[in-house]
């Protein structure tokens, strides 16, 4: 049997499955021809329209969200849950996993189950007061602070860059460009791995990067980021140009795999590789907090270091492509937690006038 998840992708199940929406095609005349502003529309079949509809439904949700929701649905089904279900099953699912799963994970799985039911035309069993209060109780009982990647200070990035500058291998040139562009451009790892030569525009002041699509721009309006040339050892535009020239890359993905024999691959790096590259190069540079680093450390580091260097709120938000002011404000507060500190005002010695 088959059910259709929220992305419109069919998943094979053993029991209690929902029918594929393609079994209920859009009802339109098969050979109808319409005219829009004088232009004729070619005949289209119900099957073609149904396939087009599923494609648009899938496009409405980002790939990452779709993968996350699909994983949550599979976990629920592997436990023994059936779809559709009622609030009693949801509450039992929460009670079973409350001692072992983070409340944020449970909340995410409820969101996936909610979306599945709404997308299939059923009432949402996760929205009842009983379910919401049960989840709230679990959060109060088992909630823990969210682990955050440590911000990479620009001073420590400089140590990594200095180490890489002393290496001749192609992988070192790639990693130097990757980490600097990721840092000073405030890119997410998926954005960084997805960059192409065609996204670049070289200017006398530096390089301009145009993102066709991002987490905060799912409709593809485009986000433009300018990365200036640097005066010191850190210069992302120069590092990028050195990598492209050394690897002879003129089209296609910017950042690619490199073998131990300095052979450059044709395909883009996997986004997860950014974590491994940062951790490996930070360890080589002698940083003592490598386990606390992730690809997000680049974005956090750019925001906190830029604030300490005097950048204003608007510029930090624009460079990182953040949608919400609260996110940027959190980074600013992290950067100034000792400088703008009420206790510090009391603890620092005051010069008393005689």
pTM: 0.73
Per-residue pLDDT of the chain (354 residues; tens, 9 = 90+): 334 444 443 343 433 333 344 333 444 444 444 454 555 677 888 899 989 888 888 777 777 788 899 999 999 999 999 999 999 999 999 999 999 999 999 999 999 999 999 989 999 999 999 999 999 999 999 988 888 889 999 999 999 999 999 999 999 999 999 999 999 999 999 999 999 999 999 999 999 999 876 555 455 567 899 999 999 999 999 999 999 999 999 999 999 999 989 999 999 999 999 999 999 999 999 999 999 999 999 999 999 999 999 999 999 999 999 989 999 999 888 888 888 888 988 888 765 444
pLDDT of residue 11: 41
pLDDT of residue 147: 80
Q: 349: how many CB neighbours lie within 10 A of its CB?
A: 5
Strand 206-211 with 223-228, pairing: antiparallel
d(CA 10, CA 24): 14
d(CA 23, CA 47): 10
Report, in this order, helix, strand and coil percent for the chain, each rounded to 5.
Answer: 50, 10, 40
d(CA 152, CA 80): 43
pLDDT of residue 13: 40
In words, the CATH class of domain 154-335 is: mainly alpha
The residue among 229, 230, 264 whose CA lies nearest residue 246 is 264
Burial profile 41-57: b = 16 or more Cβ within 10 angstroms, e = fewer: eeeeeeeeebeeebeeb
pLDDT of residue 221: 63
Q: 110: how many CB neighbours lie within 10 A of its CB?
A: 22
pLDDT of residue 214: 55
The domain limits of the chain are 2-142, 154-335
CATH of the structural domain 2-142, one choice from 3.40.640.10, 1.10.150.130, 1.10.286.10, 3.30.465.10: 1.10.150.130
Give me the helices (H) in the chain, please: 46-59, 63-79, 87-97, 103-120, 129-142, 154-165, 170-185, 189-193, 236-247, 273-284, 296-308, 313-320, 325-335, 342-347
d(CA 234, CA 180): 7
């Amino acid at each position: 049997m088959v059910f259709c998840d929220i992305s419109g992708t069919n998943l094979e199940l053993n029991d209690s499955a929902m029918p594929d929406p393609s079994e209920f095609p859009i009802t339109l005349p098969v050979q109808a021809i319409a005219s829009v502003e004088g232009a004729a529309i070619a005949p289209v079949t119900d099957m073609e329209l149904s396939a087009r509809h599923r494609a648009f439904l899938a496009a409405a949700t980002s790939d990452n969200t779709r993968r996350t929701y699909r994983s949550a649905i599979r976990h629920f089904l592997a436990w023994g849950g059936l779809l559709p279900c009622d609030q009693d099953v949801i509450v039992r699912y929460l009670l079973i996993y409350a001692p072992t799963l983070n409340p944020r994970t449970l909340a995410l799985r409820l969101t996936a189950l909610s979306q599945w039911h709404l997308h299939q035309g059923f009432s949402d069993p996760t929205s009842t007061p009983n379910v919401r209060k049960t989840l709230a109780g679990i959060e109060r009982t088992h909630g823990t602070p969210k682990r955050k990647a440590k911000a990479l200070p620009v001073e420590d990035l400089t140590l990594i860059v200095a180490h890489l500058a002393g290496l001749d291998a192609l992988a070192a040139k790639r990693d130097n460009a990757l980490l600097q562009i990721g840092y000073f451009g405030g890119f997410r790892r998926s954005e960084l791995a997805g960059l192409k030569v065609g996204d670049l525009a070289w200017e006398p002041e530096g390089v301009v990067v145009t993102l066709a699509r991002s987490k905060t721009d799912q409709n593809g309006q485009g986000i433009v980021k300018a990365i200036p040339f640097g005066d010191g050892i850190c210069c992302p535009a120069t590092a990028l140009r050195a990598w492209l020239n050394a690897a002879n890359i003129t089209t296609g993905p910017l950042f690619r795999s490199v073998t131990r024999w300095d052979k450059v691959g044709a395909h883009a790096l996997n986004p997860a590789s950014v974590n491994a590259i940062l951790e490996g190069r930070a360890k080589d540079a002698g940083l003592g907090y490598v386990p606390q680093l992730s690809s997000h450390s680049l974005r956090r580091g750019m925001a906190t270091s830029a604030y300490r260097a005097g950048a204003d709120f608007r510029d930090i938000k624009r460079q990182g492509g953040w949608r919400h002011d609260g996110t940027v404000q959190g980074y600013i507060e992290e950067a100034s937690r000792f400088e703008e500190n009420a206790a510090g005002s009391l603890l620092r010695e005051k010069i008393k006038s005689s």
